[in-house]
Amino acid sequence: MVQKKKRKSGLRPLAAKMLSKYGELTNRKIAEVLNIRSGAAAGRAILRFGKVLESNRKLKILLPEIENKLAEKATVSVKC
């Protein structure tokens, strides 16, 4: 079954923001990872994250938990 892309989904901006913040990737590398056409498009997705967060209540509630988990992983990676 082929899955269609959903327009204006909050997942891509979230993933782009987290890859930028915790993965310390460039916009070009984020674009490669998320299968986005260009680094500029990845940058726009990161900028759009704020608007997505305002309009998506579930995401606003889950974001602290997501960031805590990623921060834990980042500190474990640094210690190794």
Residue 1 is predicted with a pLDDT of 54
Residue 78 is predicted with a pLDDT of 59
Tell me the pLDDT of the chain (80 aa) as tens digits.
Answer: 555 556 667 889 999 999 999 999 999 999 999 999 999 999 999 999 999 999 999 999 999 999 999 998 877 765 65
Residue 67 CB contacts under 8 Å (≥ 6 apart), including other chains: 18
Residue 74 is predicted with a pLDDT of 76
pTM: 0.80
57 and 68 in contact (C-beta within 8 Å)?
A: no
H/E stretch holding 18 reads: helix 11-21
Dist. CA 61–CA 3, nearest whole Å: 27
Residue with tokens 């988990």: 69
